[in-house]
Amino acid sequence: MSRFGLRPTREREAQLFEHCAQARHAWNLAWRVTDTYRKGGARAARPPRYVGMAALLTEVRRTATTGMSPEEADYFAWVASGNAEIQQQALRDFDQALPNFLGGTHGYPKRRKKHRHEGLRVIGAGRVPAFTPDGEPVLNATGKQVHHRRVVVQKLNTKWAQVKVPGCGWVRFRNTRRGLPDAKSYRVTYRHGQWHISFAVVPDPTPAPGDGSVVGVDRGVAITAALSTGKTLNCPPSSKKELAKRRKHERRAARAPKNSPRKAAEHAKANRLKRREADRRKDWVEKTSTRLARSFDVIRFEGLRIKNMTASAKGTGEEPGRNVGQKAGLNRMILAQGWGMLRTRTEHKAPGRVEDVPPAYTSLRCSLCGWIDKNSRKSQAEFVCSFCGFTCNADTNASMNVAAGHAGGTTPPRRSSVREPQPAWVGIPLFIRGGGCQSRAAHGRQRRHARPLPQPASAELSCVGLIGDSEVTHQRVLRRDCAGRSWLRGTFGWGTSSDPAVVC
């Protein structure tokens, strides 16, 4: 979706605020009507959909105000003075929100509030003939040409263009892309003291390099994104001076009288600082996601549940939570990194090339030998494998595990994660190339008790002893096997590549 800065005049801005209030009222009206059918157990009937809601809206707009109290008369007159197209489009949006909730892609629609949900959606008023991908005109049942809706946009110069808003006329916006947007609808929003317009256009996906490269992305707080290539990317945070200014304006706004001009002015100053932080984060996410989509064929992220990770720890009245303030600070730090936005925008730019890896043990697993041990994580930034001695940055090691698609390691789940490092074994490989029953028995025991264990990269096995085909040699080796079978369990599979072997 293409997003541009909207620059309305004073008169146009007042009309846009009025449109936002009318759209919010129509949404809340539909929400309240639908919510009445959800209370009191099972539903007695289905709530009305868009057609029924539009009929209720028309009835409210046509209600005569004679004989009403001044408050009721003002309310009905205010609803009737609103733009019908803006109100009906808000009802259509709510009608679409219900199937989205039932489909599991969105949450249940909530009531919209002033100063928080300032926006409206508009369907283009222009008409253009419709054609098939082959270039043939689309005809209806009567044989007439079908026309599709299009947003009416005009170019003023190389930097500015204007769009037609119902009830407002032409409003200028800053065109930061080549050409004019070709969309059927657009959305106008007001956040942190600034207007924006977003055209519903699906951009073309970013082309992949085609070299089969795979990258893993480990997201964190100290390092926003650590790549398996060794690079680290950090989202630009707010400076200490900006944080101090924001806290100062928020304290002044909290102490100011309710609905006073001073309270609104302090909130506006604090929102201006919040907008700068959000703009920096969004700019970083856009650039980083584009770089990932252009540089790699497959991008793998940890499958983090950010909503659960940033949940409040306050608990309930019966069971209050602990360390609520510390958890709130951690939640703010996580949300300031833009984890979810980075994953979403990368999926938009590289559809079908983004994968999620289960995050279990990715930070404790050694990317070289696969050993899992919580003692390998020496600190937030240091990782030293307790088995093979591999040393690496902890976030880079986790990103390499994510790139390999590993959700766990080779440590059996029943073993303790604090097991002492085991020395490199030196043994006598026994090549079983057929022969006596002892050889077949050893081969059967190996298949039953074999457990694949990682071979350290620095370990080099040495063969000590004699290997022969005589029956005496086999019996000696097998007697050692039977005597020390409990010790040998879990050490099979360290022999040569082709033949089965037993390490004694």
Per-residue pLDDT of the chain (504 residues; tens, 9 = 90+): 678 999 999 999 999 999 999 999 999 999 998 887 766 555 667 888 899 999 989 998 998 888 889 999 999 999 999 999 999 999 999 999 989 998 888 888 999 998 888 999 999 888 888 888 888 888 888 888 888 888 989 999 989 999 999 989 999 999 988 888 888 899 999 988 889 999 988 888 899 999 999 999 999 999 999 999 999 999 998 899 999 999 999 999 999 999 899 999 999 999 899 989 999 999 999 999 999 999 999 999 998 999 899 998 888 878 888 889 899 999 999 999 999 999 999 999 999 999 999 999 999 999 998 899 989 998 988 999 999 989 999 999 999 999 998 654 444 444 444 445 455 444 444 444 444 444 444 444 444 444 444 444 433 333 333 333 333 333 333 333 333 333 333 333 333 333 333 333
Amino acid identity, position 166: P
Would residue 247 count as lying in a domain?
yes
**Whether 191 and 315 share a structural domain:** no
Nearest to 377 by CA among 401, 404, 355: 401
Note whether 25 and 168 are same-domain residues: yes
Last residue of a domain, one of 325, 357, 389: 357
219 and 193 in a common domain: no
Do 60 and 183 lie in one domain? The reply is yes
Going by C-alpha positions, the residue among 503, 373, 391 that lies closest to residue 450 is 503
Q: Does some domain include residue 474?
A: yes
Q: Rounded to an integer, what distance in angstroms lies between the CA atom of residue 305 and that of residue 340?
A: 9
Looking at residue 193, what is its pLDDT?
A: 84
Given this model, what pLDDT does residue 490 score? Answer: 33
Containing H/E element for 314?
none
pLDDT of residue 38: 67
* Domain presence at residue 101: yes
| 233 and 305 inside one domain | yes
Q: Looking at the structure, tell me whether residues 352 and 461 fall in a common domain.
A: no
C-beta atoms surrounding 171 within 10 Å: 20
Residue whose structure tokens are 């040393």: 391
One domain, residues 169 and 224:
no
In this structure, are 291 and 324 located in the same domain? yes
In this structure, the answer to whether residues 107 and 221 fall within a common structural domain is: no
170 and 273 belong to one structural domain: no
Mark which of 313, 335, 357 sits at the end of a domain.
357
- Same domain for 187 and 62: yes
For residues 21 and 60, what is the distance between their CA atoms, to the nearest angstrom? 16
Host domain of residue 328: 214-357
Say whether both 311 and 349 belong to one domain.
Answer: yes
Does a structural domain hold residue 138? no
**Structural domains in the chain (count):** 3
Q: List the alpha helices (DSSP H) in 394-470.
A: 394-404, 437-449
Indicate the DSSP class of residue 376: G
pLDDT for the residue numbered 143:
86
Asked if 349 and 205 count as a contact pair (C-beta separation under 8 A), the reply is yes
Last residue of a domain, one of 165, 199, 233: 199
Token pair of 222 as six digits = 């100290």
Residue type, 458: S
